[in-house]
Chain A
Amino acid sequence: MAALIEVESLVKTYPGVRAVNDISFSVAEGTCFGLLGPNGAGKTTTLEILEGISDADAGDIRFRGAPRDGRYRELIGIQFQNTALQDFQTVREALDLFGSFYPNHYPLEELIEICRLGDLLRRDTRKLSGGQRQRLLLAIALLNDPELVFLDEPTTGLDPQSRRNFWHLIEGIKTRGKTVLMTTHYMEEASELCDEIAVIDHGRIIEQGQPNALLGQHFPRALVRIPLHTLPTPTSLPDGFEARGPYAVAATDDIDATLAELERRAIARDELHVSTPTLDDLFLKLTGHGLRES
């Protein structure tokens, strides 16, 4: 698939800190690309440069193979992490205001339906709940029927149900062929939505690829764990297992073979636990600290 946006050797320095340090990646059209990293990693700065909100000190950004021009702002949609709308306006008025800035429009009634704003049109925007507000901001980001949608931590602060609802909206956007470039703290969100991710720390991309492929590169498929006291002879571990505290643990790419080994040794499987590695584990392995740590 052709790249919609390409970033090469992006650098941005603030006094005393290089927020973005030689970052390069490209986003294929119709895919969802996720920038992952802890607070201060440089992902929002990277996103702002791509949005045209701030300028890079160095580097090259190409949209559809060419430098961004005056029309770029008409072709992108942005949902900021922290933003405010003018006071004393209803949801409908906010949509009308932002809609008037663009020559192209997504059919408004359809957008209202997609973002489930139908019952909220006459409500003051200051009186929306967190989830309702994010849906309105998403609708504003989509008003101009953009080719590229930027979402900066779109579900931070939402309850789990609102977050899942929001993911369904993003899935809907993807099925309409939009390209999405997002940042997130939530690994589950990245796993759910992103076709490709880049893990950023200290302004650099430290790993990039498809989520499952990255996990496959860095971890065996599964960890099989069984309490030592359930073994007939705790001192004699099954093949492929090693002792970790009160458990015997096997990291394996072939779960069937591991289970067959346990059966062969007539080990009870009542307290057997099988887990798969997550992006959280990946980040921990790559950076030495958890994703949600600042």
Chain B
Amino acid sequence: MNLQRIFAVLKARTREFYRDKAGLGWNLFMPFVMVLGFAFIFSNPEQDLYKVGLLGDASASDAPAFVHLKHIDFIAQDNEAGAIEKVRRHQIDLLLDLRSGQRYWVNESSAKGYIVERLLLGSPSSSAPQASREVVSGRALRYVDWVLPGVLAVNVMFSSLWGVGWVIVRYRKNGVLRRLRATPLNAGEFLVAQILSRLLVVGSVTALVFVATHVLLDFTVRGSYLALVLVFLAGAIALISIGLSVSARVRSEELADGLLNLLSWPMMILSGVWFSLEGTNVWAQRIAELLPLTHMVDAARRIMLDGAGLRDVAFEIALLLGIGVLLLGIAAKAFRWQ
């Protein structure tokens, strides 16, 4: 290994990345859009839980107490037939006719309709045993806080897979690798330079997005920053090594693109980035366990939300590094310049 040669290739590749304004913009823009989009979409902290249609005047003095319950969105309806159709389609959970006072419509296949009906027919609290009332306070966990570690991890995944895998295939196809092969640069030096360059890029972009979203969204990291950095570093190494393995011999950009999509989409869906896998199909959970992104997201979320420290996520860091080292070995052995 010649450090001068590694540094020269690292410099050239990193320069190629940051001078490609379109690619750089996309790398920074995408995670911002995702995080800020989720923050905006789920910005209402107290969304109503149920929707009830009302026929008649809710402000009338004889209106039942039910229409004053909190966290139910009461929506005035003009057309009885149209409103009943909405119940049929689960667009509203229940329809109450205040004009007759005794009539309501509920869809028996609607779970929310069932709950609202129980609320309408009477509160069970009257028969509940007396219990002392305890008051707690604290900010609700916003969806954006929960989703942020996943969005950052997904960005690392895309940047690692395509920034290494696809780029090497492009180099192979257009003859850059052939030209480099004609020099004393060896495959190990070339691959190490690609890995280091991509780690530098991924690290910088992730840090930038993290700081900017921190300023804009005011989230807190309850656990260890060092552990968080190590989780992302180990995750990036694992994902870069996947990118290298895919690109070791492939000559076609289209095939590389297909293979990278084949790997990234299951991770996007099954790694718990957007929703918790708790309670989902057991097979989906088992498959998720095999995906590096699952462990990366899980460890990052435990650090940021639950206050986990380095020791708590040591297993995930070791696992991700293990995947990285194993696949790097395979990629280096399988690598072909042409």
Contact = CB atoms under 8 A, between A and B. Distances in A.
Contact of A89 (B12, B175, B179): B12
Nearest to B177: A84
Contacts of B11: 97
Interface string B10-26: 01110110011000000
Given A86-B13, A86-B16, A89-B16, A74 B184 contact: yes
B269 interface: no
Interface string A84-100: 11111100010011101
Interface residues of A, number: 25
B8 A100 contact: yes
A82 B175 contact: yes
A53 B182 contact: yes
Contacts of A84: 174-176, 179
A102 B185 CA distance: 9
Interface in B12-56: 12-13, 15-16, 19-20
Contacts of B184: 73-74, 101-102
Nearest to A140: B179
A83 interface: yes
A51 interface: yes
B12 A101 contact: no
Contacts of B182: 51-53, 73, 76, 78, 80
A85 B177 CA distance: 9
A9 interface: no
B175 A88 contact: no
A52 B183 CA distance: 10
Interface size class of B (residues with CB under 8 A): 20 to 34
B338 A53 contact: yes
A156 interface: no
A219 to B, nearest CB: 38
A92 to B, nearest CB: 12
A102 B16 CA distance: 22
B89 interface: no
A256 B19 CA distance: 68
A13 interface: no
B304 to A, nearest CB: 35
A102 B182 CA distance: 11
Contacts of A54: 338
Interface string A57-74: 000000000000000011
B15 A88 contact: yes
B321 to A, nearest CB: 29
B20 A98 contact: no
Contacts of A83: 175-176, 178-179
B88 interface: no
B4 interface: yes
Interface of A: 51-54, 73-74, 76, 78, 80, 82-89, 93, 96-98, 100-102, 140
Given A78-B182, A83-B175, A100-B4, 9 more contacts: A52-B182, A53-B181, A80-B179, A84-B175, A84-B179, A88-B19, A89-B12, A98-B183, A101-B185
14 contacts: A51-B182, A52-B182, A53-B178, A73-B182, A80-B182, A86-B12, A86-B13, A86-B16, A88-B16, A88-B19, A89-B12, A97-B12, A102-B184, A140-B179
Which 4 pairs of residues, A with B, have the shortest CB-CB distance?
A88-B19, A100-B8, A84-B174, A101-B183
